[in-house]
Amino acid sequence: MFWDKAKECMPRADLEQLQLERLQSTLYRVATHVPFYRKKFKELAIDPDGFSSLEELRKLPFTTKDDLRNNYPYGLFAVPLRDVVRLHASSGTTGMATVVGYTRNDLKNWSDMVARILTATGVDADDVVQIAFGYGLFTGGFGLHYGAERVGASVIPISSGNTKRQIQILQDFKTTALVCTPSYALLLADTMMAMDININTLQLKYGLFGGEPWSEEMRTEIKNKLGIIATDNYGLSEVMGPGVAGECSYCNGLHINEDHFIVEVINPDTLEPVTPGELGELVFTTITKEAFPVIRYRTRDLARLMPEPCPCGRTFQRMTRVIGRTDDMLIIKGVNVYPLQIESILFDIEGTEPHYQLIVEREGRLDKVTVLVEVVESIFFDQMKKQRQLVELIKKRLATELGIGVDVKLVEEKTLERFEGKAKRVIDKRKL
């Protein structure tokens, strides 16, 4: 199903022409209204009017989270506040929040983009959509909300938290589509199992998950436990919020809304583009946003582009799931490791629960990682010998697949913290 087939299936040549035109007007907009970009363009001798091909994008400066922070709160807005009708903020993991704004037209485009990803999953006007993302400064709740209303679905703005109430509403309101973080979906599923609720009595058909990294194994687990189609949805406040990219029902990569964003993938060390299909940092340029346009925004998110066409017919390029962030990459004995790799391996091992936490400490120049893994009760209370065998097995699997040794500790079921929003898997004890 398509929300806007003419756009989503546009021939690439037409799309590129549209991108160029929209980029030209964005450059004009920022050079005229945002002193930060005007200054940067001047320093780099960039003439925004002389921009005649998409390849020239590479000449433009990057924008980073620090640039946003340095211009807190409204310094990068390209319209006066009287034209801004919504503000959101991203707290990030550290430091000062960054503020983002939307004009009425930005909100219309945003809800259209979210409507596309909901439709691509299968959601339509007959669906009842339970939005269990936080409403507030976080873009997740409101972003999905407006998109779901745009589709014409019946929207339940329950927001995050209060798991028992979520479950009651899932049952009573006959929810057909659940929208939340993947870790919260799993928590809901596990709580329902503990309450002996038969999943077949629910009307759930779809789950749209996002806001945090998750593995393919976690998808399978959620699909099996809830009996639904589960799609991955990606976005970030600085670029817009949810709706930047989302999966179609083939569940094999996320289509990027390329008529609104130009995507690049760069090597985060050299800042040069990677060869197509190679892993690197996602960089987005917004080309329709009025209030808060960003040029070559460095996301810190690592993914690959999938240039080959998708069987669904959409011509928008896909990206793979985000496998991690440049800033949550751990260097253990010189090897780059992402928490998600560890998650995939744990899912494979019988007796371990899909709940884990990584404790990172620094020994000398290298990171030392201890993986805390929840194990089912029967194993936890089993003989020491069996526990030791399991620890050895996990260590061995991690060592073979990651190429390094890490410490493993088994913990009792339900002892690690659960999250209603984004899960925090890494406890960083390094004093850097």
- Is the peptide bond preceding residue 35 cis, with omega within 30 degrees of 0? no
Q: Which is nearer to ligand DLL, 48 or 339 (CB)?
A: 339
Distance CA 397, CA 412 (A): 21
In angstroms, give the least distance from the CB of 195 to ligand DLL: 26
In angstroms, give the least distance from the CB of 370 to ligand DLL: 24
Q: Which is nearer to ligand DLL, 210 or 339 (CB)?
A: 210
In angstroms, give the least distance from the CB of 260 to ligand DLL: 15
In angstroms, give the least distance from the CB of 175 to ligand DLL: 18
Strand 318-319 and strand 305-306: the pairing is antiparallel
Q: Which is nearer to ligand DLL, 241 or 293 (CB)?
A: 241
H helix or E strand, kind and range, residue 382 = none
In angstroms, give the least distance from the CB of 318 to ligand DLL: 13
In angstroms, give the least distance from the CB of 304 to ligand DLL: 13
Q: Which is nearer to ligand DLL, 10 or 319 (CB)?
A: 319
Q: Which is nearer to ligand DLL, 23 or 132 (CB)?
A: 132
In angstroms, give the least distance from the CB of 125 to ligand DLL: 22
Q: What is the 3-state secondary structure (H, E, C) of 10-39?
A: CCHHHHHHHHHHHHHHHHHHHHHHCHHHHH
Q: Which is nearer to ligand DLL, 48 or 324 (CB)?
A: 324
Distance CA 235, CA 103 (A): 19
Cα–chain-centroid distance for residue 39?
Answer: 32
In angstroms, give the least distance from the CB of 11 to ligand DLL: 28
- Applying CB under 6 A, the residues found at the interface with ligand DLL are 90, 133, 138-140, 210-213, 232-237, 241-242, 299, 301, 321-322, 325
Q: Are 138 and 210 in contact (CB under 8 A)?
A: no
Q: Which is nearer to ligand DLL, 24 or 90 (CB)?
A: 90
Q: Are 339 and 286 in contact (CB under 8 A)?
A: no
Q: Which residue is nearest to ligand DLL (CB)?
A: 210
Which are the contacts of 141, defined by CB distance < 8 A and separation ≥ 6?
Answer: 131, 133, 134, 135, 157, 159, 160
Strand 335-337 and strand 407-412: the pairing is unpaired
H helix or E strand, kind and range, residue 355 = strand 352-363
Q: Which of 152, 161, 207, 51 is nearest to 421 (CA)?
A: 161
Q: Which is nearer to ligand DLL, 41 or 237 (CB)?
A: 237
Q: Which is nearer to ligand DLL, 210 or 354 (CB)?
A: 210
Written as six digits, the tokens of 76 are: 């990068």
Distance CA 323, CA 16 (A): 28
In angstroms, give the least distance from the CB of 228 to ligand DLL: 17
Q: Which residues on adjacent β-strands are paired with residue 352?
A: 375
